[in-house]
Chains A and B, each alone.
Chain A
Amino acid sequence: MPENALPKLELKTALAAASGNAAPLIEIKKLSLFYGQAQALKNISLSIRERVVTAFIGPSGCGKSTLLRCLNRMNDLIDGVRIEGSVRIGQHDIYAPDVDVIELRKRVGMVFQKSNPFPKSIYDNVAYGLRIQGVKNKSDLDAAVEQSLRGAALWDEVKDRLHTSALGLSGGQQQRLCIARAIAVKPEIVLMDEPASALDPIATARVEDLILELKRDFTIVIVTHNMQQATRISDDTAFFYMGELIEAGPTQKIFTNPRQKRTEDYVTGRFG
């Protein structure tokens, strides 16, 4: 289909037009990813603006999570993954040979689909990243833990039991704890991989509110399979299908007036 072969320039201008004055923080150029022989991402170029929420949507297996994990190089952990093209964050190619992955991940935090608190206390969970960075001072840690938990809208619920196990929290609380843990290390970008997919509607609403709050301080990239969620929380949306980027632009435009037939079919629920 000819529409697919949309020139990259056009995509970029589309995003740039939507973004107004802010320059892109993340620039993905001609990114391809292979698992052994299979190609999971095909020549993807995309820009992501600073301090907005960008949603990746698409049917399952379309590569949206894989692309997300490229942004903090979590795919490095998987055997046999090969990556071509470049990802630039703040003008720095994060796949350059001299890049320290550890340093990168401190700046690009991640929240996973399944909440994964450490089997430690709530306090230790949030303080983990800071302790890794060598923060030892108790009052510094206390302050950071409180600030992060407040930031994740969890402080009031857990302030009296900071030293009890995190596994005793409800699913929604656990996920917010994971968000608190991620923002405690003060990253600039927070990647979220379907953070609300395992939660009930009320817990989901709280997480969504939280994401809108966090937008003020962080650049957020979120993978979601829930179209309503994408419209509620995201400013920009990128639609993926079969490892290809089909269309990207301001959320409102993608959902109301997409350029591509396939995007329209997906967002209106005709397939997916």
Chain B
Amino acid sequence: MPPNQGNRTHGWMGIHRGHRARPLEWIAERGIFLVALSTILMIFLIFVFVGREAMPILFGQENSALIKPVIPPEEMDRLKPEELQAYLGLSDKAFRQMERETLRELMIVKQEAQEEIPEQLRNDPDAHLNTTEWSAMLLPRQWSGYDEPVYIWQPIGSIHKYNIVPLIIGSLKVTLVGLLVAVPLAVGAAIYVSQLARPRVREVVKPVIEMLSGIPSVVIGFFALLVMASVLQSVFGYQTRLNAFVAGIALSFAVIPLVFSIAEDALTSVPRSYTQAALALGASRWQTAWQIVLPTALPGVFAAVVLGFGRAIGETMIVLMVCSASVVSWSIFDSARTITTTIAAEMAEAVAGGHHYRILFMLGAILFAVTFISNLIGDVVIHRLKHRLEGKR
């Protein structure tokens, strides 16, 4: 090695500092990673904390029956502590803090409360029913005073009736109307904007339609309530002014921009080479759109509809403002109470930790599960489509 090499290479010793040489950088990168993980955590937390409040209902541990078996205070000592705690419905902490005398007092209060229930109700078989059982929530029942078995959601009075069938029907009804209006309009517009319109028209129309998504749902609900409801009633001449039909149409305003942008995105992602090949063969713009582009992008349009469904079934304020009575009827010209509106309208009255409160959370959990699945389906379909189109290019 020539002598002049010595000091030149000397500097290279510095590169051996190891990749842990920058602790701050290392910490910052871990931090970034953890924050990114928190997004997964959020989904997980939503799942856990909505589910947590609904848990007792889902596993049949809640008893909403008006009349429950009474344990006389004298028999207090025969009970195991956990049995006593469950009987009095106390939290772990409260139970531990209470003294024996207080617990006894509570038992007496409970006994007296049960004794105060009027004789008339006592003989009513409904008063002995746990209305949060799955059978009571899903099957029709002939309540006392009714001539035939019915589906009823009526969480007030002495006996809370928690049949969720009317709510599910209501949700599906409104959603269906919303989608029937929104999908043809949005997909038609997406085809027009992405395939047929001139570029200048496209540049104006697209952001304007996307602007529709910026309108808060209370504003759409307000518009439906004050303007649309009367107009539609005078046009179609049905009986109930505020019904699922009006709610569905108003709902479609919220769904259109979503379905439009996803469908438009899918249609534009069809490679240019496809359309140009067709156009070069002498097909018209419309033929190209119908025979080449639409079939290729069809999964994307399907995904748009699925995601639109998720958006529609989860929409709250529009439906809450337009209709709310819970009746079981598939007619769209009757009122409808949806899952979302029930939660929104009744949560304020529900006692935290009570069965009404828990059943509302259970409805939320059902809603979350339904939208989660529809989002997942839509997502996977879009991902595959994009993957396929990009792979082919």
Chains A and B belong together in one complex: yes
> Distance (Å) between the CB of B233 and the closest chain A CB?
59
Q: Mark B1-27, 1 if CB is under 8 A from A, else 0.
A: 110010011011111111101100000
Question: Is A94 an interface position by the 8 A CB rule?
Answer: yes
For chain B, the count of residues having a C-beta within 8 Å of the partner chain is: 16
Q: Decide yes or no: A107 and B11 within 8 Å by CB, A21-B2, A22-B2, A23-B1 being known contacts.
A: yes
Q: Decide yes or no: A90 and B8 within 8 Å by CB, A98-B18, A99-B16, A107-B15 being known contacts.
A: yes
Q: Decide yes or no: A100 and B2 within 8 Å by CB, A90-B8, A107-B11, A188-B11 being known contacts.
A: no
Partner of A90, one of B12, B17, B21: B12
Question: Is A78 an interface position by the 8 A CB rule?
Answer: no
> Distance (Å) between the CB of A106 and the closest chain B CB?
9
Contacting A at CB under 8 A, from B122-163, are none
Q: A91 touching B9 by the CB < 8 A rule?
A: yes
Q: B14 touching A103 by the CB < 8 A rule?
A: yes
Q: A100 touching B17 by the CB < 8 A rule?
A: yes
Question: Is A104 an interface position by the 8 A CB rule?
Answer: yes
Q: A103 touching B9 by the CB < 8 A rule?
A: no
Question: Is A92 an interface position by the 8 A CB rule?
Answer: yes
CA gap between A188 and B9 in the complex, in Å: 10
With a cutoff of 8 Å between Cβ atoms, the chain A residues found around residue B8 in the complex are: 25, 50, 90, 188
CA gap between A171 and B18 in the complex, in Å: 38
With a cutoff of 8 Å between Cβ atoms, the chain B residues found around residue A89 in the complex are: 12
Q: A92 touching B19 by the CB < 8 A rule?
A: no
Q: B19 touching A23 by the CB < 8 A rule?
A: no
With a cutoff of 8 Å between Cβ atoms, the chain B residues found around residue A101 in the complex are: 19
Contacting B at CB under 8 A, from A101-154, are 101-104, 107
Partner of A92, one of B16, B21, B22: B16
Partner of A98, one of B5, B11, B19: B19
Size category, A interface:
20 to 34
Partner of A107, one of B5, B12, B16, B21: B12
Question: Is A77 an interface position by the 8 A CB rule?
Answer: no
CA gap between A92 and B12 in the complex, in Å: 7
Q: B15 touching A23 by the CB < 8 A rule?
A: no
With a cutoff of 8 Å between Cβ atoms, the chain A residues found around residue B16 in the complex are: 92, 96, 98-100
Contacting B at CB under 8 A, from A47-67, are 50
> Distance (Å) between the CB of B377 and the closest chain A CB?
29
> Distance (Å) between the CB of A79 and the closest chain B CB?
16
| Closest A residue, CB atoms, query B5 | A23
CA gap between A104 and B1 in the complex, in Å: 22
| Closest A residue, CB atoms, query B16 | A98
With a cutoff of 8 Å between Cβ atoms, the chain A residues found around residue B15 in the complex are: 92, 94, 99-100, 103-104, 107
With a cutoff of 8 Å between Cβ atoms, the chain B residues found around residue A107 in the complex are: 11-12, 14-15
CA gap between A102 and B14 in the complex, in Å: 10
With a cutoff of 8 Å between Cβ atoms, the chain B residues found around residue A97 in the complex are: 19
Q: B18 touching A100 by the CB < 8 A rule?
A: yes
> Distance (Å) between the CB of B15 and the closest chain A CB?
5
With a cutoff of 8 Å between Cβ atoms, the chain B residues found around residue A50 in the complex are: 5, 8
Q: Chain B interface (Cβ within 8 Å of chain A)?
A: 1-2, 5, 8-9, 11-19, 21-22
Q: Chain A interface (Cβ within 8 Å of chain B)?
A: 21-23, 25, 50, 89-92, 94, 96-104, 107, 188
23 inter-chain pairs at a CB distance below 8 angstroms, sorted by A residue, are A21-B2, A23-B5, A50-B5, A90-B9, A90-B11, A90-B12, A91-B9, A91-B12, A92-B12, A92-B16, A94-B15, A97-B19, A98-B18, A99-B15, A99-B19, A100-B14, A100-B16, A100-B21, A103-B14, A103-B17, A107-B15, A188-B8, A188-B11
A-B pairs with lowest CB-CB distance, top 9: A90-B9, A90-B12, A100-B17, A98-B18, A103-B15, A92-B12, A104-B15, A100-B21, A99-B15
**Additional pairs, 13, CB under 8 Å, beyond known A21-B2, A90-B8, A92-B12:** A23-B1, A50-B8, A90-B9, A90-B11, A91-B12, A92-B13, A99-B18, A99-B19, A100-B15, A100-B16, A100-B19, A101-B19, A107-B15
